[in-house]
Structure formats: C-alpha cells, structure tokens
Amino acid sequence: MLGIGSDRNFPTVLLIDDDLISREVIATVLTLGGYTLHTAVDGTESLEMLDKGICAPEVILVDVQMPGLNGVALIKELRTRSAASIYAISGTAPPDDLKSAADGFLLKPFGPEALQSLLGKHTRKPDGTDAAPIEPVVSAVTLAQFREMMPEPVVRQVYAAVADDLKKRSILLEAAIAQGNAEEVRRIGHAIKGGCGMAGAREAARLGAMLESESDQLNNSKAVLRDLRTATQNLERMLEVEFPA
C-alpha cells in the first residue's frame, strides 16, 4: 500500500497511455499516493477531454509511442490546450526533437520512486492561501479499524457498495444540476458527505461537503461532479489493490 494516508497537496495529473497494464500500474501508484488522476487511452481521447473541460491537469504524462496521434505532434496539440508540464514516457530513448518538445522524459520500465521524484517537483507548498490539501482516497485509520472488526471480504463489500452508491448519486446529481435544482444538489451532497465520511472515503466525503455548502453555485457543482466521478474511479482502483480477487 503506497501512501494511502498522504495529506500533501499534489498536482492533478493526466496520464495518456494505450497500454492497459502500464496505465493501470501508473494509475494505481499515483492514486494511492494521493494524486487526483485522469486517464486517456490515446492522443485523440486526451484532446477531447481537454476540449470538453473534463480535466484541467497541471502535469501530463504521455506515452509517445502510441498508435495514431503521438510523439511531437501530440505534444504540440496538448500545449495548445493546456499549460501543464508535459513528460514523455517511452520504452526507447527519445530522439532530439522529442526531448526538445517535452519538459522531461521517463524511460520504461521505471519504478514508483522515479515517478514520485519527477512529480515531486510539482508539489504545491502550502502558504496559508491555497486550497485545502487533497484528501487521500480512504482513511488509513478507518480502513485498519474495519479490518479489525470484519473479515476482508466484508470490508471489500463495504467499499464496493460505497463506489456503487457514488455512481448512482452522480447520475442524480448530473440531473439536478441540469435542472438548476440547488436544493437537490445540496441534499445529494449532504448524503455523500455523511455516508462516505462514515466509511472513511475522505476524498468523496470532501466533495460531498463542497456540494452541500456551495449548492447555489451550480457552475462550481459541475466541476465537483467531474471530480466526484474521478474519486469513484480512484476508490475502485483502491479496491483492486487492497482486496485483489
């Protein structure tokens, strides 16, 4: 388990990689390390995500040897849509033009330490004015308490139920936002805050509290909904790592 209790304020990351195994390994390391993470399976999907405002990354990790749009051409397109730092990842040494286009490079295979070292350059230092630190996916203390109280399969069922509930509430929340129903947004946020807080799902609980307190600002609620869906994906990744089948 890697840093599940971390409370440092990490940058939002967009990972672009067509290889399922590489993508899931990197995603798991970052998610359990406390990062807010979005993933894309190819260059085209990543550009669509940026164009639609699905994510606003501060760091982009991109495999530069994918089919379709890739390499320098993809990096140029990413730069027109994002001010994020862009790091190329590949299984072979990059040519000079790629080195110049990217802000840095990671050669596959690389370990968690190399990844953490690279992203550590972008850790935001608290100065008393920034937003609150990003919460871990699940409280390490709560998870340990559940494991003392219940068998592993039961603990897994608890968090699987939380993830399923978040998916259902996200659908209801999207409808409430579309209808301009601030009261329903507040009610859904309150329910998420309470249920996820009890389960120690701190990332989702924090977002629920934001929905409850800022329900009159529906534009903000749209952004929180996007983050809530990412938090649900992060919770599902945590399940895969902590409770393998």
Residue bearing the bigger pLDDT, 222 or 74: 74
Per the CB < 8 A criterion, the answer to whether 34 and 173 are in contact is no
Superfamily of chain region 140-242: HPT domain (1.20.120.160)
Q: Which residue has the tokens 């068998």?
A: 151
User: What residue ranges of the chain are covered by domains with CATH 1.20.120.160?
Assistant: 140-242
Q: What is the mean pLDDT of the chain?
A: 81
Cβ neighbours of residue 238 under 8 Å, at least 6 residues apart? 4, 31, 32, 137, 138, 159
Would you say residue 36 has pLDDT above 90? no
Q: Which of 86, 92, 115 is nearest to 25 (CA)?
A: 115
Would you say residue 7 has pLDDT above 50? no
Q: Is 13-120 a CATH 3.40.50.2300 domain?
A: yes
CA atoms of 192 and 195, how far apart (whole Å): 5
CA atoms of 2 and 35, how far apart (whole Å): 12
So what's the pLDDT on residue 165? Answer: 92
Residue 240 pLDDT grade (very low, low, confident, very high; cuts 50, 70, 90):
confident
User: What residue ranges of the chain are covered by domains with CATH 3.40.50.2300?
Assistant: 13-120
Residue 136 pLDDT grade (very low, low, confident, very high; cuts 50, 70, 90):
low
Q: Which of 74, 52, 53, 55 is nearest to 63 (CA)?
A: 74
